[in-house]
Structure 1
Amino acid sequence: MSTPGFEYTLTRTLDAPVDKVWAAWTVADNYGTWASAEEVVMDARPGGTWSSVMVIPGGARIPLSGGYTEVVKNKRLVMGMNVPGRDEPVLMTIDLAADGERTQIVLSQTCDTAEERDQAEQGSNFLLDGLTAYLATA
């Protein structure tokens, strides 16, 4: 069953084993390094919460928070992000598939409007670019 909305899906093959990719998304110090985030707190388990302060180009700081609805180690991470003025968190799904020493990542999200989708997709591409660069040096 799909919810009405505007969806996007990004797929990339990362040059790192799946356990390294998983740790990049679920270990606070790792995530902060590649996602331009500070004060990162992560409790990556169903019902657990996360928070961070995103530092965007130009120096603006944006506090973010949310929770985890589904956590399957090295396979699937469903994270919700709290959005001001919205009752339900915005969910982002990350699916990982091991391919030897490489990992396929599929990141998907459904938004309420085309504009939100376009902004979220741009932000997710920025995140995946940071992740790719981080994994190349990690």
Structure 2
Amino acid sequence: MSTEQTSAANGFSYTLSRTLDAPAVKVWRAWTTPDQYAQWAYAVAGSVEMDVRPGGAWKATMATPDGGQFPLTGSYLEVTENRLLVVGMDVPGKPAPAAMTMELAEQDDHHTQIVLRQTCDTAEERDMAEQGSTMLLDSLSTFLTEEARD
């Protein structure tokens, strides 16, 4: 596994890139199957619902390290199976969803590059989103490694 992280100099954007030890189809399944997503994305078991198609809705209740929980909702803005997922996240008080882009590029039968991108309204929002996305990539990588052993 390799990791590359960069923050764009213009605006409040970030891009995270990582090579995962799994084919794109397994990475896609982990990101778009409720039971798998809940196992690695800090979601409360049974709380994840996904209608993975453009315009389809999703929701999940996330668990925090201190034992708290908070609900998230949104929709899928773009879907290209095993390649591209643009997820809209509802933000209270904002008219438009915050969009995060996840791109997959299969490098060979056993490795996939994943790239996460997001533009935020403020530097603080960007820093928090980037930290959360880094945690998700760490957890996803661990999940895929453990699944490969099973």
Give, in whole Å, the separation in 2 of the partners of 1:113 and 1:73.
31
**Identity rate, percent:** 57
Structure 1 unmatched runs, 5+: none
Match of 1:30 among 36, 42, 56: 36
Deviation at 1:43, TM superposition (A): 0.7
Task: After TM superposition, list the pairs within 5 Å mapping 1:36-115 onto structure 2.
Answer: 36-38=42-44, 39-100=47-108, 101-115=110-124
Count residues in correspondence: 135
Give, in whole Å, the separation in 1 of the partners of 2:137 and 2:14.
14
Deviation at 1:36, TM superposition (A): 1.1
Moved over 6 A (4+): none
Q: TM-score, normalised by structure 1?
A: 0.96
Give, in whole Å, the separation in 1 of the partners of 2:129 and 2:96.
16
Structure 2 unmatched runs, 5+: 1-9
2:14 is matched with which residue?
8
Deviation at 1:47, TM superposition (A): 0.5
Q: TM-score, normalised by structure 2?
A: 0.88
